[in-house]
Structure 1
C-alpha cells in the first residue's frame, strides 16, 4: 500500500468512528468512557473515548502529591514546621509534603522503631521476646512509658542496634540519638511511612507475620488519653492504631508534636506520619497535627 493513501484511510476511519458514536448516543447524552489495563498489577487508567457533543474531555485528576500539597498549602501558615507522608494501602496512592526543614526529633514515636529492632533481633536468634520484654514493650507503646523504653533501648544495643535495624527496614534518613537520648533521634516523615509499611504493608518486610501482628496489636491499644493525632482522620477512632510523640524543648519552650499510625478513612486503609515542631503548647500542637492529618487524608481520597 502506498504511504500516500494513509491520510485518506485515517480520515475515513475517524469519520466512521464518529458516525458510530453519533448513532450509539442518539438516545443518551452521556459520554462513552472506557478503561485500559496497564501492566499486570498496575492501576487502571480511565480515559474518554469520545467527547459528548458539547466538546471537551475532562481535565486529568491531579497527582496525589499535588492534591495533598495544594490542600495543605491552603491552610493557615503554621507556627512552626511540619512534614507529612501518607499512603493508601488499597489504591497504592502515596503523597509527601515537606516544609524544607529536613529532619525532626522523633520524641516518643521512636518507640515503634525500638520495638521493631527488638523483634528483628529476636527473629535472628530464632527466639521470641521474653515475658519481661513483652511487659516492657506493652508499657512502652500503650502508655509511652520512658523507663520501659530505657530498658529496651539498652536491650537492642542503643543507637547502633537501632541503626542496624533501620538499614534492614529501609529507613535511610533516621539518625539515632546519642547515648541514651533516644527521643532526640532525627527522622523524616517519609522514613516513618517506610516504618509503618514494614508493619502494615504487603509482607515484603524483614519483620515476620507474628512480629508485625504484635506491633500492630500494641499500637491499636494505646491508652485513651493518647488517642489523638492521626486518629482524627479515622472514620471510627476506635479503628486507629498509632503512636504519638511530644517533647517540650528546653532551649525554646516550644513543643515537638508527632503522630504516626494506621487509620480507616472513607473505606480505605491509610498510613499517616506527621512530624512537627515550634508549637506554643501541647494542645496547639495536637490541634495542628490533627488538622494536617484530616486535610491530607481527605485530599488523598478525593
Structure 2
C-alpha cells in the first residue's frame, strides 16, 4: 500500500484544487492541467480524467515518433523530414504534419511510438485525422519527460533537436504555458473549433518553462468547449501561471 503524501504536499494540492475550482466554476468548457517541477519533483494534476482532442500539440508527438523510427534504423533525418518537422512545430503547418503522419505510418506508427514512450491515455485520430488524436494532460507530461530525461528512449541529440524547434515557434504562437515564465520557453500550442462541440474551441498548450526563480517546469494544459479561442487562451494562461506560482512557493519553502 502506497504511503500517504507528506503534509506539505497535501497542503499545496488542496490549495491548488480549491483555487482552480473557484476560477473554473461558471466558465464554459472543461480544463485539465498537469505540471512537474524538475529539480524538486513536485507535481500536480487537476481533472486527470479529462480527455480532449490534441489539435496541433500532436505535432510534437509526430516529430518524436519520426525520430524514434529513424533511431531504430540507425539513421539521421533526411532533409525533407527535417523541413517538415520544423514547419510542423515552428509555424504549426498542417500540410507538414500530414507529411509526418504518412512518414511514421499513420495511426499504427503513432500508437507504436506511444507504447515506447509509455503514454497511457493517448489514442491516434481515425484515418488521417491526426488533430483528432485524444490525450490527457498527464500523458503530455510523459511526452515532455521524454524530451528532458536522460532515461528517454530518444537520444540526447534528438531531445535537443525537438526542444530547439519548440523554442523557436512563431511569435504569434508563443502564448499558453509561457505565461508561467519567460526565461526559457519551449512550447507547442493547439487550437481548433470542433463541430462536435457546436463550434466551440479546443485550446491546448504544452511545454518546458523556466521561471525567474530558476525553477523549471514541464506543463500541459488541455481544455475544450470554450466560446472562443481567446477565452480558451486566457484560461490556459491563467491556470499555467497559478499552478507554477504555487509550486514555486512550495519549492522555496523546502
Identify unmatched segments of 5+ residues in structure 2. Answer: 1-5, 250-254
1:126-181 deviation line (CA, Å, top 9, x unaligned): 00100010011000000000000001100000000000000010101100001100
Distance 2:48 2:65 in 1: 29
Deviation at 1:103, TM superposition (A): 1.1
1:89-130 deviation line (CA, Å, top 9, x unaligned): 011111100164x31100000011110000000000000100
State which of 77, 82, 93 in structure 1 corresponds to 2:42.
Answer: 93
TM-score normalised by length of structure 2:
0.91
In our comparison, the structure showing a higher alpha carbon Rg is 1
Q: 1:62 to 1:125 in 2, by over 3 A?
A: closer
Distance 1:206 1:235 in 2: 28
Does residue 130 of the first structure (1) align with residue 81 of the second (2)? no
The DSSP-based 3-state class of the residue aligned with 1:84 is: strand
1:258-292 deviation line (CA, Å, top 9, x unaligned): 00001112310000000001111111110110011
Deviation at 1:66, TM superposition (A): 2.9
Distance 2:144 2:99 in 1: 23
Distance 1:76 1:122 in 2: 42
Number of residues paired by the alignment?
A: 240
| Structure with more of its chain in helix, by fraction | 2
Q: Which runs of 4+ in 1 moved over 2 A?
A: 60-68
The DSSP-based 3-state class of the residue aligned with 1:150 is: helix
Partner of 1:8: none
Larger RCO, structure (CA 8 Å, separation 6 or more): 2
TM-score normalised by length of structure 1:
0.77
Identify unmatched segments of 5+ residues in structure 1. Answer: 1-44, 46-59
The DSSP-based 3-state class of the residue aligned with 2:74 is: coil
The DSSP-based 3-state class of the residue aligned with 1:222 is: coil
State which of 223, 231, 238 in structure 2 corresponds to 1:276.
Answer: 223
